[in-house]
Amino acid sequence: MKPFRSIYLSLFVLFLIGCKTPQTTVTTEHNLSTFEKLSSMENVVSIEKKAALSHFDENFEIWFEQPISYNDLSKGTFKQRVFLGFENPSQPVIVELHGYGIGSGKAGELANHYKANQLNIEHRYFNSSRPENIDWNTLTVENAAKDQARIIEAIRKALFPNSKFVSTGISKGCQTTMLHRRYFPDNVDACVCYVGPLNFEREDPRVYEFLNKVSTQENRDKVKTFQNLCFENRTALLEMMKAVGNEKNMSWEFGIDKAIDYTILEYSFAFWQWGTPIDSIPMENASAEEIYKHLISVVGYGFFEEKAVDNLQPYFWAALTQQGIYGYETAPFNKYLNTEDIYKFEWAFPENISKEYDLKPMQEVQTFLDNSAEDMLFIYGEYDSWSATAVELEDGASKRDLYKFVHPKGSHKTRIKSFSPESQKKIYDIIDGWLKE
C-alpha cells in the first residue's frame, strides 16, 4: 500500500502545481497596466500619461527612437512622437497617419464612430519629430513608411495582438496612408483615405485642366474676374501686405513683390479647395480694402511667408522630390505679369539644397492599386482642387475591395459625414465588413 500512496500523493501535488501555474501567469499578465505593457516595447524613449480625451479611457504620449536612415544606421537616430488613445483591447485600432505634425489625441471620424482605439503617428521631421540637424535626403516616403510599420507592430504586440488595424489619413496623410500600404500591405487590415492627391509630376498639369473645368463656366468666370480685379488693384494690395508684414513681423524669402503675385495666383486653387461660397466674392466696385480682406481670407499668409515656409519645410521637400505639388498658370494673366511661364515652388527648397523629382514612388502606388491592393476606400470632394489628381480605380477594382466615393460639389473638407445618409451607410457597411473578417 505504501508505494501506491506515494505515487498518488506525487500525482496530486503535480496536479495542484499544474493548476496553479497557469492561473498565476494569467493573473499577472491581466494585472499589468496599459502603461506597463507600453513600457515593454522596444525602442521607446519615454511614455507620459495624458488627460483622457474623447471616449478613450486612457491617453498617452509616446516617443520612439527611430533610425534616421534605414539603409545607413551610422547616421544615428531621431525621436518620433505618437499619441495613443486606449479604449479596449478588443476594439479595432484606427491608425491616423497625418503626414504632418500632430497636435491632439482627440478621436477622429473613424475612431469616434466605432468607439475604437486610436494611434496618431507624427510624420518624420515635422514638429519635434526630427534630428537636430536634418539630412534632407533621408526624408523619403520609404523611410517614413518604415517608421510607421515599426510603431504599428510594436503597439500591436504590446496591446492589441488580436485587434483589427485600419489606417487612415487626410490630404498628405492620405498620400502617407497609400504609401505605407504599398510598402507594407500586411501591416494593417484596411485603409480609409481622404481627399489625397496621387501626383505623377512635380507640377502636375492635371491641376490646370481641373481648374478650367470645375463647377460651371459662370462660377469659374467669377473667380477669374476677382483675380483680374486683384491685379488691377495690385499696387494698393501690395501696400496693404507691406503694412501687415511690418505690423506682424512677416517676411517673404522671394520678396514681397513676388508674394502678392503668388497670393493672387493661388486664389483659384484655394477657392475651390476649401469650398468658398461663390456669393462671398467681392464685386468689381469693391474697395481695395474689401478685395484684400477677401483675398487673404481665402489664401492666407501661411503658404508663402518665410516663417510659415520654414515650419512647412518637410512638406515642401516631400512635394518637390517625390509626392508632387502644382504650379500656377500665368498665361491668363499675361497682361499683368508679362510672362506665360509656370510659377513654381523651387524657392521652397531648404537653403543651399535641391533635388530632382523622383516620380517612381507615386507610379508604384498606381501600379499597386491597379494590380494587388486590397481593402482600401477613397473619399473625395468633387470641387476640391486636389481632386484634379485623385486616385483613379480600374474597372473591377471592387473585386479586391477597392472603392471610391466622391461627394457632389464637395471640398477638401469632405468626410464620411459629408455624404447623404444612404452613402454613409454604404461606406460604413464596407468598413464594417473589414472589421468582421
C-alpha cell belonging to residue 69: 536612415
- The alpha carbon of residue 90 and the mean position of all alpha carbons in its chain are separated, in whole angstroms, by 26
Whole-angstrom distance, CA of residue 401 vs CA of residue 205: 30
C-alpha cell belonging to residue 119: 494611434
Q: pLDDT tens digits, the chain, 437 residues: what are they?
A: 434 333 333 333 333 334 433 443 343 556 789 999 999 999 999 999 999 999 999 999 999 999 999 999 999 999 999 999 999 999 999 999 999 999 999 999 999 999 999 999 999 999 999 999 999 999 999 999 999 999 999 999 999 999 999 999 999 999 999 999 999 999 999 999 999 999 999 999 999 999 999 999 999 999 999 999 999 999 999 999 999 999 999 999 899 999 999 999 999 999 999 999 999 999 999 999 999 999 999 999 999 999 999 999 999 999 999 999 999 999 999 999 999 999 999 999 999 999 999 999 999 999 999 999 999 999 999 999 999 999 999 999 999 999 999 999 999 999 999 999 999 999 999 999 999 98
Q: Is position 383 within any domain?
A: yes
Whole-angstrom distance, CA of residue 98 vs CA of residue 171: 8
Q: Is position 184 within any domain?
A: yes
DSSP 356-416: ----HHHHHHHHHHHHT--SEEEEEETT-GGGGGB--PPTTGGGGTEEEEEETT--TT--G
Whole-angstrom distance, CA of residue 299 vs CA of residue 269: 9
Name the domain boundary from 295, 323, 348: 348
Name the domain boundary from 328, 348, 368: 348
Same domain, 190 and 45: yes
Q: Is position 370 within any domain?
A: yes
Domain count, the chain: 2
**Alpha-helical segments (H) within 32-139:** 34-39, 109-114
Same domain, 330 and 211: yes
Whole-angstrom distance, CA of residue 101 vs CA of residue 3: 73
Q: Is position 2 within any domain?
A: no
| CB 275, CB 411: distance < 8 Å | yes
Whole-angstrom distance, CA of residue 410 vs CA of residue 406: 8
DSSP 273-329: HTT--GGGSPPTT--HHHHHHHHHHHH-STTTSHHHHHHTHHHHHHIIIII-B--B-
The angle that helices 217-232 and 256-273 make with each other, rounded to 10 degrees, is 160
| CB 262, CB 237: distance < 8 Å | no
Confidence (pLDDT) at 281: 98
Q: How many CA atoms lie within 13 A of 328 on its CB side?
A: 22
Q: Domain range for residue 44?
A: 34-200+360-436
- What does the DSSP 8-state code read for residue 341? S
Whole-angstrom distance, CA of residue 63 vs CA of residue 120: 12
pTM over 0.75: yes
Same domain, 189 and 224: no
C-alpha cell belonging to residue 286: 469693391
Same domain, 380 and 324: no
Same domain, 218 and 193: no
CATH, residue 137: 3.40.50.1820
Confidence (pLDDT) at 17: 34
| CB 381, CB 418: distance < 8 Å | yes
Same domain, 217 and 338: yes
Same domain, 59 and 161: yes
Q: Is position 220 within any domain?
A: yes
Q: Helix-strand-coil percent breakdown of the chain, rounded to 5?
A: 50, 15, 35
Same domain, 344 and 406: no
Whole-angstrom distance, CA of residue 25 vs CA of residue 17: 12
Whole-angstrom distance, CA of residue 214 vs CA of residue 270: 13
Helices and strands (H, E) in the chain, number of each type? 15, 9
Q: Is position 396 within any domain?
A: yes
Judge residue 217's burial from the number of C-beta atoms within 10 Å of its C-beta, 0-12 exposed, 13-18 middle, 19 or more buried.
Answer: exposed
DSSP 119-163: EEEPPTTSTT-S-SS--GGG--HHHHHHHHHHHHHHHHHHH-TT-
The angle that helices 234-248 and 256-273 make with each other, rounded to 10 degrees, is 100
Same domain, 339 and 394: no
Same domain, 314 and 384: no
Same domain, 235 and 341: yes
Name the domain boundary from 315, 348, 381: 348
Same domain, 117 and 222: no
Q: Is position 1 within any domain?
A: no
Q: Please name which of 253, 259, 262, 255 lies closest in space to residue 350, comparing C-alpha atoms.
A: 253
Confidence (pLDDT) at 30: 62
**Cα angle vertex 298, ends 296, 302, to 5°?**
65
Q: Is position 15 within any domain?
A: no
Residue 85's DSSP bridge partners are: 59, 118
C-alpha cell belonging to residue 330: 500665368
Whole-angstrom distance, CA of residue 427 vs CA of residue 437: 16
Q: Measure Cα distances from 17 to 6, 9, 324, 427 in Å.
A: 17, 12, 64, 52
